[in-house]
Structure 1
Amino acid sequence: MPGMKRLALLPLLALAACANPPPKVAEVPSSGATLAREAARIVPERRFASVDYLIVDKSERLMIGYAGGQPVKAWRGLQFGDAPQGHKQFEGDERTPEGRYVIEGRNPGSAYHLSLKVSYPAPADRAFAESLGRSPGGDIFLHGQPNALPFGRIPGDWTDGCIAFSNAEIEELWRIVPDGTVIEIRP
């Protein structure tokens, strides 16, 4: 009897094999791949109107934007929280989160030259902090330099956990990163 059940499934498997393939998902490098190698793949002439995926590598201080699975733009020299190593766990730890989040909004009236909100804390971040009776914090953004800064860049890591860019870079990100874009932040 068990063999007959298998034979009955054969026509269904044949039909499934003829079905349309699933839509192609944008391919981004695995966590083992270095973003520096990905940055080398960027073709400067490649045209794109927006990106659909961002990967930040904190150790390389590098972010790459992807469009349709292809690396299209790199930003270097990123600035992080005052304590850049390790995943953000609690309010006030001045760490930049690690993990997969989403750009969930924008603030044109930011105290920093434009800002894009990151969806930190995720439910797991919140649960971990609350299990220890702490707040996970929040208000993590990609943003420019402080509005009070007349020009240039503050040197070093200086945010409370955000990712800072030059004002020109955040203006570009403002234009090409739609709300809902996935941002993966790696150690």
Structure 2
Amino acid sequence: MHTVCRTLAGLVTALALVGCASQPETVTQLGHPSSLSRKKQPKRYLNIPMETAYSPPFSFPQGARSIDDALYAFAPAALEQLKPYFRKAGVAYPPREIALIAIKDERKMELWARDGDKFRLIRSYTIKAASGMRGPKLRQGDRQVPEGVYRISRLNPNSNYHLSMKVDYPNDFDLLHAEYDGRSDLGGDIFIHGKSVSAGCLAMGDAAIEELFVLAAHVGPENIRVIISPSDPRQRPLDASLPNLPSWTPELYERITREIFAVTQAKPPIKLAHSSNAYPLYRPAN
């Protein structure tokens, strides 16, 4: 009798194991059919659900990687680099909002973030490449990096430049002044991306774009502003009197200055009375 019971128990256990093995293991991923073929649940790299990562309202081509695929590949290392900066700044991760301030002549991008009322500087990045010169982008093919206050319109995990984030140039300000000037064919496809080559984009290098891409996915592009300035208005007022700049450049530079001061809580620079230079020296107010 005991032998029969042991035999029956063994058969039940074997059937149960077969039943579990026959159930397909699936991974809940956003917007990518190839995710269903994964055999293992990916490790969580953040103590928030993956569904908070931004996925656009369109499908990627068959065989392309999704945003969640990119996060699975790059988030662990990116967060290891980013989180100490957030802790030092006293800002929770992920923050509620971020601002990217790009200074063209210094080839520098500052990352500011906030989880409360005030933005705090998290860290700075070197811009590896940015084509063009001082002044806003006006038309297709001018190879200019735009100047203004922008948003991120989408994340691209399949960029030719590793990873990229699309800037919403031309925005309403650009379109309004193009109509006033009688300009058309303003160009587009302006990205913050990896690698170190640029044709109107901001090339950040692969390591930096991995951090920024992961951060943007966790924060949500709707909570990101991108401010691109020809120089740093905290050090010297932006000069709109240079030749070949559009007549509306003072309005643009006033808008850029106002946004940078609002994010950084900076005060207008103070002119040094003893300066005799053609372009007076300025310093931030205490």
Class of the TM-score when normalised by the shorter of the 2 chains: 0.5 to 0.7
Per chain length, whose mean CA-contact separation is higher, i.e. which structure has more relative contact order (CA < 8 Å, sep 6+)? 1
Contact 1:126–1:135 under 8 Å retained in 2: no
Residue 57 (structure 1) shift: 0.8
Matched, 1:49 2:94: yes
Residue 67 (structure 1) shift: 1.2
Q: Which residue number in structure 2 is paired with residue 92 of structure 1?
A: 141
**C-alpha spacing 1:44/1:79, structure 2 compared with 1 (3 Å):** farther
Which has the larger strand fraction? 1
Q: Name the CA distance, whole Å, in 1 between partners of 2:205 and 2:229.
A: 21
Residue 128 (structure 1) shift: 3.0
Contact 1:129–1:135 under 8 Å retained in 2: no
Contact 1:66–1:72 under 8 Å retained in 2: yes
Q: Which residue number in structure 2 is paired with residue 163 of structure 1?
A: 202
Q: What letter is aligned with 2:221?
A: D
- 1:23-62 mapped onto 2 (5 Å cutoff): 45-46=88-89, 48-50=93-95, 52-62=98-108
**C-alpha spacing 1:92/1:114, structure 2 compared with 1 (3 Å):** same
Q: What letter is aligned with 2:186?
A: P
Q: Which residue number in structure 1 is paired with residue 256 of structure 2?
A: none
Q: Name the CA distance, whole Å, in 2 between partners of 1:97 and 1:84.
A: 10
Matched, 1:107 2:156: yes
SS of residue in 2 equivalent to 1:127: helix
Q: Name the CA distance, whole Å, in 2 between partners of 1:78 and 1:56.
A: 12
Q: TM-score, normalised by structure 2?
A: 0.43
Q: Name the CA distance, whole Å, in 2 between partners of 1:122 and 1:135.
A: 13
Figure out how many residues of one structure are paired with residues of the other and give that number: 134
User: Which has the larger displacement, 62-71 or 120-129?
Assistant: 120-129
SS of residue in 2 equivalent to 1:170: helix
Contact 1:44–1:72 under 8 Å retained in 2: no
Residue 80 (structure 1) shift: 0.8
**C-alpha spacing 1:133/1:99, structure 2 compared with 1 (3 Å):** closer
Q: Which residue number in structure 1 is paired with residue 252 of structure 2?
A: none
Which has the larger helix fraction? 2
Matched, 1:179 2:226: no
Structure (1 or 2) with the larger CA radius of gyration: 2
User: Which has the larger displacement, 108-117 or 72-81?
Assistant: 72-81
SS of residue in 2 equivalent to 1:45: helix
Q: Which residue number in structure 1 is paired with residue 123 of structure 2?
A: 73
Residue 116 (structure 1) shift: 0.2
1:126 to 164, 172, 175: 175
Question: Which runs of no fewer than 5 residues in structure 2 stay unpaired?
Answer: 1-84, 231-286
Q: Name the CA distance, whole Å, in 2 between partners of 1:135 and 1:127.
A: 13
**C-alpha spacing 1:78/1:85, structure 2 compared with 1 (3 Å):** farther
Q: Which residue number in structure 2 is paired with residue 63 of structure 1?
A: 109
Contact 2:127–2:203 under 8 Å retained in 1: no
Residue 104 (structure 1) shift: 1.3
Q: TM-score, normalised by structure 1?
A: 0.65
Q: Name the CA distance, whole Å, in 2 between partners of 1:127 and 1:163.
A: 24
Q: Name the CA distance, whole Å, in 2 between partners of 1:62 and 1:73.
A: 11
Question: Which runs of no fewer than 5 residues in structure 1 stay unpaired?
Answer: 1-41, 146-153
Contact 1:56–1:63 under 8 Å retained in 2: yes
Identical positions, percent: 35
